Amino acid sequence: MRTFRALYATLPVFTVTVLLGLLGPVRSLGSGTANLPSEPHLSPAASYLSRLAVQGGAPEAAMLTHRDSPVPHDDYRSTGPGIARDDHFRAGSATKTFVATVVLQLVCEGRLQLSESVDRYLPGLVRGNGNDGRRITLRSLLTHTSGLYDYTADTSARPLSPGAAVRAALSHRPASSPGSYAYSNTNYVLLGLVVRRVTGHDYATEIRRRVLIPLRLTGTSFPGARTGLPEPHGRGYSRDPADGTLRDVTAFDPRPAGAAGELISTLTDLSRFYAALLGGRLLPPGMLATLLDTAPTHGVYAMGIYPQRLSCGVTVWGHNGHIAGSYVRTAATRDGHHVLTFRVNTDTLSDASLEPALLTAEFCPPEEHPGRQARQRPVRQHPTR
């Protein structure tokens, strides 16, 4: 299965080298025994938290589950004191779901059209090296079928603005033919510029007004040039490929991520957002169906959100986020009534099979699916930026 680089892993070599050089090595936090709550009826999904530490090589992990029925219930679990329910952390590409939601709200208002070209809204911006914004639609940006080169793959670039990120992408020929699925952060940087063009406000302002405030997501923010995290927060670590030690990367410049991945959030806020989105609180039914349409990518990706079919036949919807010092994943049932968000405070899981196994344990419990397969089927690896 194809694996995808983390956004942090594709930041310019200069940026990564300086960051690690200034911070220096820290004690390897290893994979000791996880300190899960001692309860007689620990859920199968919660038991995977210790595996994220032991098998996945994460310092610590946390998980929040929410069910609306039969009685609304939240369940929080963690592996140790260094990671907490209310911590703020970098959510990486979960940002894309927020951006896609606002774009489709603007479509509902008649201010954008999915079939219109990028060039209509950003005249002349996407040109050169075989790239032509006149042949790229907003729909293709949302579904990663534009063919545009992913600017984060260019390790010689250090884009600190959306314009610089686009220029870095356009210095390369298209990465794929238009219409074929190829995940590219450039698509969502362009969508952020489109939102600014039609509203007069940057994407962060529009997301705050349209999503964060109505849903009371008080733990979610867009840092801009701020290098730190809001309080409370724990530490974020990245494993040095040279010697395996973990280095503290809690503070860094998030501007290269932009509309593709700069979001800071909490377990509670991410769970609440995806529940509200899938539950129809942010988009009318027809537009929500458009958001979830995977036809352009043959089932791989929708618009800022993707499905994953589990071995028991259940399909969950959500997104992951993979950025310096943080990996997070939210998955939910189609109606948003059952949501799982888990995170680890490092950007690398050494065992990729843990994630689908954890989702299967949560959404396919034996008592609900007695005939389900004992093992999770192989699944397509999704972007982790």
Give the separation between CA 369 and CA 364, rounded to whole angstroms.
Answer: 6
3 state SS for 182-249: CCCHHHHHHHHHHHHHHHCCCHHHHHHHHHHHHHCCCCCECCCCCCCCCCCCCCCEEECCCCCCEEEC
Residue pair 207/222 in contact (Cβ under 8 Å)? The answer is yes
Measured over the CA atoms of residue 207, residue 212, residue 214 and residue 215, the dihedral's sign is positive
Q: Are 46 and 77 in contact (CB under 8 A)?
A: yes
Provide the Cα torsion 18, 21, 22, 28; round to 10°: 130
Catalytic residue among 93, 146, 184, 271: 93
What gap in Å lies between CA 361 and CA 261, rounded to an integer? 28
Token pair of 348 as six digits: 């690398």
Residues 6+ away with beta carbon under 8 Å from 277: 97, 101, 283, 288, 291, 305, 336
Q: SS3 of 342, please?
A: strand
- Is 69 considered catalytic here? no
Give exposure, 306-316, as e/b (b: 16+ Cβ within 10 Å): bbbebbbebeb
CA distance 62 to 343: 6
d(CA 344, CA 325): 8
Cβ atoms within 10 A of the Cβ of 124, count?
Answer: 8
43, two tokens: 């859920």
Q: Which two tokens stand for residue 16?
A: 């990564």
Question: Are the CB atoms for 36 and 52 separated by under 8 Å?
Answer: no
Q: Kindly list the distances between the CA atom of residue 233 and the CA atoms of 76, 81, 228, 265, in Å, as whole numbers in the listed order.
A: 16, 12, 10, 10
Please tell me the distance from the alpha carbon of residue 15 to that of residue 351, in angstroms, as a whole number. Answer: 27
Residues noted as catalytic = 93
